Structure 1
Amino acid sequence: MAGTPIDRRGARGASLALLFVSLGLVTLLSQLNTTVFTPALPVLVADLDGLGEMPWVIAAYMLASIPTMPIYGRLSDALGRRPLLLFAIAAFVIGSVIGAVAPDMSWLIAGRVVQGIGSGGLTVLPAAALADILPARRRGFYAGILAAVSTLASLLGPFIGGVLAQGPGWRSTFWLNVALGVVASIGVLTLLRIPRRPSPASLRIDVWGMALISIATTSLALTVVWGGSAYAWDSAMMLGLIAVCLAAIIIFVVVERRARHPILPVELFRDRNFVLTSAASIGIGMQMFATIAYLPSYLQMVFGASPAEAGLLMIPMSGGTLLASTLTGQLISHTGRYKIYPILGTLLIAVGMIGLSSMTPDSSLVWICGSVGLIGLGLGGCFQNLILIVQNSFPHGIVGVATAGSSLFRQIGGMVGTSLAGTVFVGGLTRNLDDRLPAVARAAIGDSPSPDAVAALPADLGELVIASYNDALTPVYALMVPIALAAALALCLVRAEPLAETID
């Protein structure tokens, strides 16, 4: 592929800046969509009269994005990052257009599926492309900035989405994606030029591997989304999905051991660092998504913050991530040492979760923002450095597959964390409201109390609802503490290998 020449020491100067801007645009597009859409859901569901299909708006996106991650990683190793990035952006934009003009929930869900197909590539490929243009020793600083962009976009999403939903309407959240997608595609076309010449052998596609990993991840996602809510855990549907997932994993291992060009090589799991960082990524993903998914609602319900104000109160998390990711990236580039930072990061996350688990309706917002800031600092020391460890453990020819594997486990952790947090929170809230409220007040606020409904209650009953909400959510964060500590223990066992000084 013609374009900016990159030697074994990596891109430098103006060419590096241009390449990095294009990757930043892609990261912004991917992560902003993760949360900008959420505040518009209630208005959207009411407009399209689709309350029964509401869970599928989120589930369809996850079901399409998670299985495609390793596929993008493998194909990008063969074909190069640039064409796969352009395909992913195109799919994401097309899905956004379908969602923006959707006349009913069926079309909206279809648009979310197409969006998810593109999102799998947008999540994986920027980090893999960074490995194409920078050696591991120089990669930490720039990976840190990409991580900060990702977290900032995720946390600003609810604020932006709330403003758009209250102003132009929910369809504008999709049109925002279209505009960002066009800008990102122009950036990739004009700025991202990475030399790549795939060999004929590398173009052989592992069709069976793709099919099996899609079946395994899809059945896992459905199990997590439906378990305990749409279906009882011991129902035939749940047991069947679990059986399909386990069977697909077993067959996948057998097939991949024999495949000449596997979609997710088994030798990845023979590498100590890959296994340990993947396990840690699952735990850390649970921490991040459990915080982002439920704390803004808590701030609205307990402290009376508006959706926009709740988004602003989450800024310490993005600020902490920005600070820690850029600082650790600089230190890694200067010293070549990296193992200590994700360990300290997981410990900071544990301390932040202890802070959130001790919240009460009388707690200071400074205390809550401080706890959220500690979690942000911890995340900033973890995510991009875990990917760096994985990329440094394998030859450049499979760096896309290795990156995709690491990202896959982080997303699975986020999916499991969101579902686990939801199960604990919803179950606790329902029990608390049933036990504490009179029948008339309980019926008045329904199963999903809103701040307006609580405000309409007498003061003493409103305080009972707020206390019930608080007592249902704080156990979620208490549950996250041992998970963070387990991730720290796993990272202590990582083998610290010297960072590569050149691109292999």
Structure 2
Amino acid sequence: MTTPSTAPAQAAPALSHRQIVTTLSGLLTGMFVAILSNTIVSNALPAIVSDLGGSQTGYTWIVTATLLATTASTPIWGKLADLFPKKPLVQAATVIFIVASIGAGFAGSMGEMIGWRFLQGVGAGGLQALAQVVIAAIIPPRERGRYSGYMGSVLAAATVSGPLIGGLLVDTPGLGWQATFFVGVPVALISLVVVQKTLRLPTVRREVKLDYWGAALIVGGVSTLLVWVSLAGEQFPWSSPTSLALVAMGVAALVAAVIVETKVPEPVVPMWLFRERTVVLSVLASMIAGVVMFGGSVFLGQYFQIGRAYSPMAAGLLTLPLIGGLVVSSTVSGQLISRFGRWKPYLLAGAALITTGLTLLATIDHATPVWEVSIFLVLLGTGMGMTMQNLVLAVQNTVDVSNVGAASSLVAFLRSMGGTVGVTLLGVVLDDRVSQLLGGSTGALQALGTAPPAQAGLIRAAYGDGISFVFLICAAASLVTLVSVILIREVPLRTTIEKAPAPAESPDLAPARTR
């Protein structure tokens, strides 16, 4: 198996706290609007489809196109960051996102809308992946915890607050659904200016060998599986020939990608990463965290809006305990990690709180007091804040800066993949559970708008009660995160950006053994 070589680079300049915060302000602003673009349109979808004359298929693809592009492009952006200067890549991703956002706002047909949304996902994937890579390039792991906490807060706040902001824009007279696309443009432009003025990175001289086949196979395989998960059960049955063919093609492409990645000199996803115990366990834990993070946005919104009949804006406000717990714990745990150099205790506490919070949410129904649900959300948010970005920190501490792009984007990629697939499958579970609670009837959500008050009340109660079953499944799955964190070996955070080679190894050998 080919192992990449670490190229000589100029020493990274030592930055003050003020310089780092200024630099991160531009990166995290771009990251916020990129993540927000995935969720802000949720409350605008009915109006978009109505104005553009779309169908249910188009309704699905407005969301699927962006998720697919974001997920599939993440590892490619990460690898490009290991091969090319990072600043121009950040700027390119920002420009792509801005152009696509403007295009989506002016879209005159469903085809145009879906195309611009796909391009928006490409830019969003770059902004999400590159923000983590740049942090790893300018801040040593020992100091990175405090800044990773800021990133974790932005990640969750953008994910959960998207429906709230979208609902506010759609409900405001004179704005409409176009505002959900235009609102991120000035923010992204500010990010672009700040990055241009503040981002200073060392020059890396490295032979560039692009892995075209690996990139094509990864994108093709992931896209095919995401299309299958997104459309199966609605456009065609799960067990249909179409469904089986998509699964076969997706798996075959990913198997071929693994073979290619073991043979090329600069793989998009270096297979030696999977020999690192910390990387493997962190990836497993992150995949479940992705389900919880995306599920928190999707299913909590359904619980409050459908099960409890709150407006989109009120539903968003009721998720603030989750965001508050996450922001506080992410920031505080990051500060403590940087101060004391220990990170595993916070991962353990966070994973335990995630399981506890989900278990408690599995007890709610359509009549549970809101204050009680809020307490459960605080626990869940606190656990997520102590876990998500610290898993990335553990991985970044394991690899050298020359491969930190591929390693960081691998975690983000599989977290996004796990979240997309997991939430889709959990949606199928929820539909089945609601059908059971209603005595076997189907199409309850479609019938809600026209049902008489008594029947509408039954449908809402079924959703309010059924979502607890989804949280129960998530609680069981979160045990994977807890076990993975328990098994991770805590390696002291190094105080240098580059990883020093082991004494018995050549300095050119990139993958280092976990001690």
Say whether the fold is shared (TM-score over 0.5).
Answer: yes
CA contact (8 A) 2:159 2:293 kept: no
Other-structure match for 1:34: 38
Alpha-carbon distance in 2 for matches of 1:174, 1:9: 37
For 1:352, which of 357, 360, 366 is the aligned residue?
Answer: 357
| Equivalent pair of 2:40/2:165 in contact (CA under 8 Å) | yes
Q: 1:61 is matched with which residue?
A: 66
Deviation at 1:239, TM superposition (A): 1.2
Aligned ranges 1:222-237 → 2 under 5 Å: 222-237=227-242
Q: Is the 8 A contact 2:10 2:203 kept in 1?
A: no
Question: What residue identity is the alignment partner of 2:469?
Answer: P
Contact 1:9 1:134 in 2 (8 A): no
Q: Does 1:206 pair with 2:211?
A: yes
Give the structure 1 partner of residue 507 of structure 2.
none
Residue matched to 1:178: 185
- Where does 1:253-402 land on structure 2 (aligned, <5 Å)? 253-402=258-407
Q: What secondary structure sits across from 1:38 in the alignment?
A: coil
Structure number having the greater helix percentage: 1
Check the 8 A contact 1:29/1:184 in 2, yes or no: no
Q: Deviations over 1:124-155 (max 9, x none)?
A: 11111001111000000111011112212222
Whole-Å Cα distance in 1 between the matches of residues 348 and 328 of structure 2? 17
Which of 479, 492, 496 aligns to 1:498? It is 492
List per-residue Cα deviations over 1:8-60 (Å, max 9, x = no partner).
Answer: 58421432222121122122221222221111111111111213311111111
Supply the distance in 1 between the matched residues of 2:220 and 2:38 (Cα, whole angstroms): 23
The aligned counterpart of 1:466 is 460
- Tell me which amino acid in the other structure corresponds to 1:464: L
Whole-angstrom distance in 2 between the partners of 1:8 and 1:185: 22
Residue number in structure 1 paired with 2:99: 94
TM-score normalised to the size of structure 1? 0.93
Looking at structure 2, the residues matched to 447 and 40 of structure 1 have their Cα atoms a distance apart, in angstroms, of 17
Describe the SS at the equivalent of 1:499: coil
- What corresponds to 2:153 in structure 1? 148
| Secondary structure at the counterpart of residue 43 of structure 2 | helix
2:267 partner SS: coil
Greater mean alpha carbon deviation, residues 221-230 or residues 481-490: 221-230
Does 1:187 find its partner at 2:183?
Answer: no
Write the deviation string for residues 241-275 of structure 1: whole angstroms up to 9, x where unpaired: 21112212221122111101111111011111111
Using the alignment, how far apart are the partners of 2:431 and 2:69 within structure 1?
A: 26
Which residue matches 1:197? 204
Separation in structure 2 between the aligned mates of residue 432 and residue 46 of structure 1, nearest angstrom? 31
Summarize deviations over 1:160-181 as a string: whole Å, max 9, x none: 1111111210001111122222
What are the Cα deviations for residues 304-359 of structure 1, in whole angstroms up to 9, with x where unaligned? 31111100000111111111111111111111111121222122111111222111
Aligned residues: 487
CA displacement 1:437-473 (0-9 Å, x = unmatched): xxxxx9xx964254x656x514xx3432222112322
- Structure 1 stretches lacking a partner, 5+ long: 437-441
The Cα shift of 1:86 comes to: 0.9
Deviates more, 1:13-22 or 1:181-190: 13-22
Asked whether 1:489 is paired with 2:483, we answer: yes
SS in 2 for 1:43: helix
Give 1:65 deviation, angstroms. Answer: 1.4
* Pair 1:160-2:156 in alignment: no
| Alignment-mate amino acid for residue 48 of structure 1 | L
Identity %: 32
Q: Which amino acid aligns with 2:48?
A: L
Q: Is the 8 A contact 2:355 2:479 kept in 1?
A: yes
Q: Is the CA contact (8 Å cut-off) linking 2:170 and 2:176 kept in structure 1? A: yes
In structure 2, the residue matched to 1:439 is none
Structure 1 Cα separation of the partners of residues 409 and 473 of structure 2:
28
**For the residues of structure 1 that align with 2:445 and 2:295, how far apart are their CA atoms?**
21
Distance 1:426 1:238 in 2: 19
SS of residue matched to 2:238: coil
**Contact 1:428 1:471 (8 Å CA) reproduced:** no
- One-letter code aligned to 1:172: A
**In structure 2, do the counterparts of structure 1 residues 135 and 282 end up closer, same or farther at CA, with 3 Å as the change threshold?**
same
Q: Tell me, yes or no, if the aligned pair for 1:124 and 1:407 is still in contact at 8 Å.
A: yes
Alignment correspondent of 1:48: 52
Amino acid at match of 2:21: A
Q: Is the 8 A contact 1:6 1:133 kept in 2?
A: no
CA distance in 1, matches of 2:473, 2:181: 35
